[in-house]
């Protein structure tokens, strides 16, 4: 993990640890306005959850199962549900803290998720899961609490999206705001406060990996341009586009317009590089996740999230990053690596344009893969291990875009090292 850019060790189960840090933040800021954003990483693979929650779930029979796929992995589902109960526990810790400090009437609390389930399991008879743009892939829970302002138990049926959070919060608090470009979302504060609200038959657009769907209050046009009345057909089984050609064309026109304005423009201009050396930051990380391997080097897993590079077996191999140095400066660089005693002695070079630094790997560090012993279900992602920092020295980076390259100048044995990340620390 990291804290203000510096690498740190966590304490116990991550969701519990993040909550501990959130509670500490609330305590330290209880006398002044504060904003706490606490994004948990569960329920998500790897399917790890403390025994306290797993033991309550592992032998339970499930009353609600996936109604769209017969291959539901019940152990995976139970692990996900155990994670959700752990989330409930930790959200409760946050709300209890707010109550204990007598801040409840003066604090807006929002709870939401980001997408549908990460595997086939019960999903309210909605079609799809994470990774697609059908109703079950993108519709998520959203709860908001502001005691003495938003009526308890209020349930709203207006469609809304994440884009509405900013304008709605500003509306609730009567905070004016100005942005360079128009805000896409709507201010729904009147709905929450029980005030007069003129409902609009608006469109919400969902996009994932080249697939787009469009949702109105009543209908959804899916990625293949089939139209469904979601109010009576959440499972999206009855395509009504042929019976309603004018309505379907209205959705299709909106979809094409949105894709032309958003996706096409983004693809044409998306030459963004990884930024390095943000002026107000001390540290910048460039992990294996964001690098590109050349030669014999391979990822430890096809999913990049927590992968590292291995099979670095030649001086002709390299790892590169497309970077944008935001401000010229000097940076102390550490390379996190593993290397068994038999492969010591390689000399590695980091270069950016005419700037170069080199270091020799002289200390062995060869940890084993960890994490499998805690998985309730074998993961899809890479297993991880401990890595050792190697001081590469201080490199002077000019402002501007270019290719940062890590390679070996000398490799006296059969391999260079396994690689996890580069850590840049700004120095005077």
Q: Which of 414, 424, 426, 409 is nearest to 335 (CA)?
A: 424
Cα–Cα distance, 27 to 332 (Å, whole number): 35
Backbone angles phi, psi at 106, to 5 degrees: -120, 20
List pLDDT tens digits, range 257-290: 999 988 866 566 667 899 999 999 999 999 999 9
Q: Hey, which residues does 112 pair with through a beta bridge? A: 142
The whole-number pLDDT of residue 267 equals 62
182, burial (CB in 10 Å: exposed 0-12, middle 13-18, buried 19+): exposed
Backbone angles phi, psi at 100, to 5 degrees: -60, -35
CATH of domain 202-270: 3.30.1120.10
The whole-number pLDDT of residue 265 equals 61
User: Contact 417/337 with Cβ under 8 angstroms?
Assistant: yes
**The dihedral sign for the CA sequence 31, 35, 41, 42:** positive
The whole-number pLDDT of residue 259 equals 94
Percent of the chain that is helix, strand, coil (3-state, to 5) = 25, 25, 50
Q: Based on DSSP, count helices (H) and strands (E) in the chain, helices before strands.
A: 8, 20
Q: Which residue has tokens 């209908």? A: 219
Widest CA span of the chain, in angstroms? 76
Cα–Cα distance, 32 to 42 (Å, whole number): 30
Q: Would you tell me how many other CB atoms lie within 10 Å of the CB of residue 41?
A: 9
Cα–Cα distance, 52 to 55 (Å, whole number): 6
Cα–Cα distance, 413 to 90 (Å, whole number): 50
Question: What's the Cα-to-Cα distance from 161 to each of 112, 140, 141, 206, rounded to whole Å?
Answer: 11, 9, 11, 10
| DSSP output for 148-182 | TTSPTT----S---GGGHHHHHHHHTT-----SS-
Cα–Cα distance, 56 to 86 (Å, whole number): 11
The whole-number pLDDT of residue 371 equals 87
The whole-number pLDDT of residue 167 equals 96
Name, in order, each residue with C-beta under 8 angstroms of 368's C-beta and a sequence gap of 6 or more.
385
Torsion on CA atoms 170, 174, 178, 179, rounded to nearest 10: 10
The whole-number pLDDT of residue 306 equals 87
User: Contact 208/133 with Cβ under 8 angstroms?
Assistant: yes
Q: Which of 39, 33, 31, 34 is nearest to 14 (CA)?
A: 39
Cα–Cα distance, 319 to 295 (Å, whole number): 9
CATH architecture of 2-156: 3-Layer(aba) Sandwich (3.40)
Domain over 274-427 is classified CATH 1.10.10.10: no
Please report, for the chain, the start and end positions of each structural domain, with discontinuous segments joined by +: 2-156, 202-270, 274-427
The whole-number pLDDT of residue 269 equals 62
The whole-number pLDDT of residue 71 equals 81
pTM: 0.91
The whole-number pLDDT of residue 175 equals 95
Helix axes 74-100, 14-28, angle to 10 degrees: 10
Residue ranges of the chain with per-residue pLDDT less than 50: none
List pLDDT tens digits, range 201-219: 899 999 999 999 999 999 9
């Amino acid at each position: 993990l990291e804290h203000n850019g510096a690498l740190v060790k966590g304490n116990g189960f991550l969701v519990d640890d993040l909550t501990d840090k959130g509670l500490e933040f609330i305590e330290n800021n209880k006398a002044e306005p504060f904003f706490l954003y606490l994004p948990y990483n569960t329920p998500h693979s790897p399917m790890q959850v403390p025994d306290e929650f797993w033991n309550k779930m592992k032998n339970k029979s499930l009353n609600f199962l996936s109604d769209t796929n017969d291959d539901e992995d019940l152990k995976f589902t139970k692990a996900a549900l155990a994670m959700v109960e752990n989330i409930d526990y930790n959200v409760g810790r946050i709300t209890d803290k707010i109550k204990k400090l007598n801040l409840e009437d003066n604090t807006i609390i929002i709870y939401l998720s980001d997408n549908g389930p990460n595997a086939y399991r019960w999903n309210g008879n909605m079609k799809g899961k994470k990774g697609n743009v059908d109703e079950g892939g993108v519709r998520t829970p959203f709860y908001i609490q502001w005691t003495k302002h938003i009526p308890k138990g209020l349930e709203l049926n207006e469609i809304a999206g994440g884009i509405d959070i900013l304008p709605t919060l500003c509306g609730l608090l009567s905070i004016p705001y100005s942005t360079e470009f128009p805000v896409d979302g709507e201010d729904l504060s009147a709905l929450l406060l029980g005030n007069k609200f003129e409902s609009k038959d608006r469109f919400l657009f969902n996009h994932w990996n080249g697939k787009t769907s469009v949702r109105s209050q009543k209908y959804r046009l899916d990625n293949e341009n089939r139209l469904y009345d979601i109010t009576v057909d959440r499972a999206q089984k009855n395509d009504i586009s042929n019976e309603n050609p004018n309505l379907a064309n209205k959705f299709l026109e909106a979809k094409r317009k949105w894709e032309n304005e958003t996706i096409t423009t983004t693809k044409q201009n998306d030459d963004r590089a990884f930024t390095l050396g943000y002026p107000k930051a001390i540290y910048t990380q460039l992990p294996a996740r964001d690098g590109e391997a050349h030669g014999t080097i391979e990822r430890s897993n096809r999913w990049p999230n927590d992968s590292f590079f291995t099979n670095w077996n030649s001086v002709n191999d390299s790892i590169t990053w497309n970077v944008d140095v935001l401000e010229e400066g000097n940076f102390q660089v550490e390379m996190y690596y593993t290397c068994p005693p038999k492969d010591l002695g390689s000399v590695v070079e980091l270069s950016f344009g005419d700037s170069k630094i080199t270091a020799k790997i002289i200390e062995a560090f060869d940890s084993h893969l960890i994490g499998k012993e805690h998985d309730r279900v074998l993961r899809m992602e890479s297993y991880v291990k401990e890595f050792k920092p190697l001081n590469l020295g201080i490199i002077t980076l000019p402002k501007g875009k270019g290719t940062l390259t890590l390679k070996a100048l000398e490799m006296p044995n059969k391999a260079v090292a396994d690689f996890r990340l580069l850590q840049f620390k700004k120095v005077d």
